[in-house]
Homo-oligomer: A and B are copies of this chain.
Amino acid sequence: MGSSFGVLFRITTFGESHGPGLGVVVDGCPPRLTLDVAHIQAELDRRRPGQSRLVSQRKEADRVEILSGVLDGVTLGTPIALVIRNEDARSRDFEEVARAYRPSHADYTYDAKYGIRAVAGGGRASARETAARVAGGAIAQQLLRSSGVEIVAWVDEVAGIAATVDPDVVTRADVDRNDIRCPDEAVAAAMIERVEEARKAGDSVGGVVRVVARGVPAGWGEPVFDKLDADLAKAMMSIPAVKGVEVGSGFAGTRMAGSEHNDLFYRKDDGSIGTRSNRSGGIQGGISNGAPVTMRIAFKPTATIMRPQDTVDPDGNPTVLAPRGRHDPCVLPRAVPIVEAMAALVLADHHLRQRALRPPSVRPGP
């Protein structure tokens, strides 16, 4: 259970880290969308391990294959199935792991839940699962792009080192310019140095990814439970290693007075209604207001470190987990396309939901 996401634009993912393969079924993509497969592959490449020395060195080509739902490069309106084969499945690395619960991983909780666990590579709990999200999210992004919505995420903070980035203008080209995926070049250098330090120390660091969605028209999101920000929060919190989510002003906003925090409405030059500030993060009452949708997502330091750690085996016997295998001292750069994918999945779903219920007499924008 729990491997589907979305109401109308709905994905279902599958796959263990070291099984035959993983993939995603996208049900609810409208027909007659020209699908750019190279873009899907490019997004997967941005998530893939082994891109730089900052991230895990696992070798996976992550070649995506489309099994259904597309004909001559155009969507049919039927489910689109994407499959990625696993290749580098060095399960010998995981023998010891089978006996010891890795701290702050999901080994113990999977055993408690299922009474069985695919030990190699963390099975379904592996971050490898996110490749399926990225593939599905790439299709969502293409749908959104045809409606004028653009999503950009970047690494905003690493181990407390914070960047300054303007969400209104930052581009993906800016983000991908360096290995850490932080468009503030000076800060990026400091971040990379910090990650290198952690790697040498056999340790890991965490950080914050920020994401903006520009061009979202006013009116997306449902009141009460399926608020746009609520669905975005779920989407982000479901990404492995995420421990916090902020929309707009977030926790900092709790220290402001209402008179400072409120976004005052005004008439923009083009005659439309806008707000002078965007502490709401583009969402008011759970519904988009036309301003950029902005979020910050907290990633804990990677749980896998190259140091011995005290733990227990499944029988509760104390043991020491020796460092072994591959190590990703900072997941942040690879998290960027995952965050973009999850944002796109939520927005595409709410785009279609609004299409279904929009009254005829409201302008056909959203």
Contact = CB atoms under 8 A, between A and B. Distances in A.
B285 A357 contact: no
Contact of A67 (B20, B302, B309): B20
A112 to B, nearest CB: 4
A89 interface: no
Q: How large is the interface on A (under 10, 10 to 19, 20 to 34, 35 or more residues)?
A: 35 or more
B1 A307 contact: no
B303 A258 contact: yes
A267 B317 contact: yes
Interface in A69-92: 69, 71, 74-81, 83
A25 interface: yes
Total identical chains: 4
A225 B4 contact: yes
B219 A109 contact: yes
Given A8-B1, A103-B263, A359 B76 contact: no
B258 A14 contact: no
Contact of A254 (B106, B160, B248, B359): B160
Nearest to A362: B115
Given A101-B265, A226-B1, A290-B112, A357 B8 contact: yes
20 contacts: A1-B353, A1-B357, A3-B25, A3-B222, A3-B225, A13-B224, A14-B78, A16-B78, A19-B71, A67-B83, A76-B117, A105-B284, A125-B285, A206-B253, A206-B256, A206-B258, A226-B238, A243-B253, A258-B302, A265-B312
